[in-house]
Structure 1
Amino acid sequence: MARTQAADYEQRREAILDKAARLFARRGFDGSSVADLADACSTSKSLIYHYYPSKEDILYAVMSSHIDQLVSDVDGVLAKGGDAAAQLDALIHAFMDHYVGAADRQKVLLNELDSLPAEQRATIVARQRKVIDATQALLVALDPALADDPAQARAKTMLLFGMINWTHTWYDPEGPIPPARIADMALKMIHAS
């Protein structure tokens, strides 16, 4: 007889991902075991495996949940329409809002991609490219000369992501500067270039 699913199945899966993101962000994927995760969750390894078939599947779920939110941000902003400046502004603000609440997931996404099996890594990379390409298209719309220089367009795009992607290493959400101000500062710097 098949095991029935608990009413709080999805909440438990998400709680495991939260603990896994924290653990992987601090110790790295290779430096963390399923036993470590079970300890962090105050549960057993077998219960972890009930929710996720493997440690790699947990890592993929951590990354996927984060990149899917960023893809959703892109889709939402583009669906609303408007001029490129307003869309880029909305997008960078949305990204910063999510980065602040997901610093561990952001760190894992940036540092542990090579720990995924090839097929899962390809899926995450494709989603990352969607986010990057959409942002680059907005930058090109703001500066049409970039259309004639794809290398410079990509460099400018990656510089923008370089400014915001690594805020998890220094930004204090309890500090005096709110995430929206960080987004404004990044946008101002990218417009000045």
Structure 2
Amino acid sequence: MARTRSENYDDIHRGIMNAACDLFANQGYMRASIGELADACKLSRGALYHYFESKEAILFAILDAHVRQMIADVETAIAGKSTTLDQFRAAIRAIVELNARSSQEQRLILNDLSFLSEADQQTIKTLERRIVEMISDLLVQLDRQGKIVKRTKKIYTMMLFGTLNFSHTWYDPKGGIGPAEFADMVVDQFLYGITTQASPSDLSARQRQRA
């Protein structure tokens, strides 16, 4: 007979994922033991296995939830905007803001994805490709000079994601530049550079300063 779920099953399930995320990110997935995780969750090993069948299953759940949340956030951000430029800016903001809230998850997906089974890795990578394709399609639509062609499309897209994915190593969202402003800086730098004419957001900022 199957065990019935407790009323607080979902809360405990989320709590395990949160504790595991912190432990794996700070100590390293391979070095973190089930015993240490049970201690961090204030659960017995037996209780822990009631929620997840293995340490690997916990890692997969963390990464899967993070990437699915990013897809949902980007889709919602794009849906609320009419122009391609506004959609692109909103999508980058959504990614930056999620990563700012989830820097531990970002560390895990960059450093520990390879510890999952091949099947689970492919699941995560397929989800990641959906995000990359959404951003890549917007870049193609924004390209007015024909720079983004089949040969260069992936390069331009991954140049942008290189900035976004590794910002957790140095960017402090609690510093003087908030996530939304940082996202706009990334967009402006990527689309307009720093040696060309002022970008639309630069002009708007200057107008606000003069007002």
What TM-score comes out, normalization by structure 2 length? Answer: 0.86
Question: Aligned ranges for residues 121-160 of structure 1 at < 5 Å?
Answer: 121-144=121-144, 145-147=146-148, 149-160=149-160
Q: Which position in structure 2 is the counterpart of 1:51?
A: 51
Taking the TM superposition and a 5 Å limit, the aligned residue runs for 1:77-96 are: 77-80=77-80, 82-96=82-96
For residues 129 and 147 of structure 2, what CA distance do their matches in structure 1 show?
Answer: 18
2:61 is aligned to: 61
- Aligned partners of 1:146 and 1:12: how far apart in 2? 50
Counterpart AA for 1:111: N
Q: What is the match of residue 174 of structure 1?
A: 174
Q: Going by fraction, where is helix more abundant, 1 or 2?
A: 1
* Distance across 1 between alignment mates of 2:85 and 2:190: 12
Q: How far off its partner does 1:175 sit?
A: 1.5
- Distance (Å, rounded) in 1 between the aligned partners of 2:46 and 2:169: 33
Alpha carbons of structure 1 residues 81 and 179: separation in structure 2 relative to 1, 3 Å:
closer
Count of equivalent residues:
192
SS at match of 1:151: coil
| RMSD, aligned CA | 1.5
Deviation string for 1:77-113 (max 9, x for gaps)? 3434522111111101111111111110111011111
Query: Using the alignment, how far apart are the partners of 1:48 and 1:192 within structure 2?
Result: 50
3-state secondary structure, aligned to 2:151: helix
Moved more, 165-174 or 111-120: 165-174
Distance 1:146 1:8, change over 3 A: farther
Q: Give the SS at the match of 1:150.
A: coil
Q: Separation in 2 of the partners of 1:132 and 1:40? A: 35
Letter in 1 for 2:97: D
Partner secondary structure for residue 73 of structure 2: helix
| Aligned residue identity for 2:31 | G
SS of 1:5's equivalent in the other structure is: coil
Task: Confirm whether residue 32 of structure 1 aligns to residue 60 of structure 2.
Answer: no
Where in structure 1 are there 5+ consecutive unaligned residues?
A: none
User: What is aligned with 1:108?
Assistant: 108
Aligned residues of 1:156 and 1:190 also touching (Cα < 8 A): no
Q: Which has the higher contact order (CA 8 A, sep 6+)?
A: 1
Q: Which residue identity is paired with 1:60?
A: F
CA-CA distance at 1:29 after TM superposition = 1.5
SS in structure 2 of the partner of residue 157 of structure 1: helix
Q: Match for 1:76: what amino acid?
A: T
Where do 5+ consecutive residues of structure 2 fail to align? 194-211
Name the CA distance, whole Å, in 2 between partners of 1:20 and 1:101.
16
Q: Which amino acid aligns with 2:106?
A: Q
Write the letter of the residue equivalent to 1:9: Y
Distance (Å, rounded) in 1 between the aligned partners of 2:150 and 2:32: 40
1:162 aligns with 162
Query: Does residue 10 of structure 1 match 2:36?
Result: no
